Amino acid sequence: MTDLAEKEQFTITDDAKAEWALVKIREAQAEQSKFTEFYKAQIAKINEQTEETVSYFQSLLAAYFETVPHRSTKTGIEKFKLPSGELVKSPAGVDYDRDPVKLLAWAKKHSPNDEYVKVKEEPKWADIKAYIKETGDIPDGVTPVETPAKFDVKLEG
């Protein structure tokens, strides 16, 4: 007899069996959590090792790149083609770290016509939903979708 067949024959007929079932759910979730954490740690190690390997070989290839004749594009990108790939060196540039709150304040102050401010229009779903409940009218763009009844088990603690 398989485990599944045994589980299918079990029925809950009283509070004690219901409690036992809750304990089994909690144990299964704890086991899942334990394995999830273990494998997350393993994946983190693998990612770190991969990054180290890639970084090491990229540094060797960058040094090699400087010793071979390579072509330059109009945009200043330098390239060297190999059978399995291409070595590419892009010129230095400038990037910007942004503080959205401070930047928005600056943009509002320095653009009287909001030319530096993006305004995003979207429907207020909570208000529209209240309108539907109150009037029963369904606006264009809204399609009612039936959802099945749901049974859930909530464990304490």
> Which residue has tokens 């330059």?
72
Q: Could you tell me the pTM of the whole model? A: 0.57
Interval 12-16 mean pLDDT: 95
Name the more confident of 151 and 138. Answer: 138
How far apart are the C-alpha atoms of 49 and 153, rounded to whole Å? 41
Q: How is residue 148 written in tokens?
A: 């099945």
| Alpha-carbon span 81 to 144, nearest angstrom | 57
What span, in angstroms and rounded, lies between the C-alpha atoms of 91 and 75? 9
**pLDDT score recorded for residue 3:** 62
Residues 87-123: pLDDT tens digits? 999 998 888 999 999 999 999 888 878 888 888 899 9
Q: Please report the pLDDT score of residue 1 as a whole number.
A: 47
DSSP 8-state code for residue 91:
P
Model confidence pLDDT, tens digit, residues 43-76: 999 999 999 999 999 999 999 999 999 899 998 9
Question: Residues 98, 107: contact at Cβ < 8 Å?
Answer: no
> Could you tell me if 141 and 129 are in contact, meaning their C-beta atoms sit under 8 angstroms apart?
no
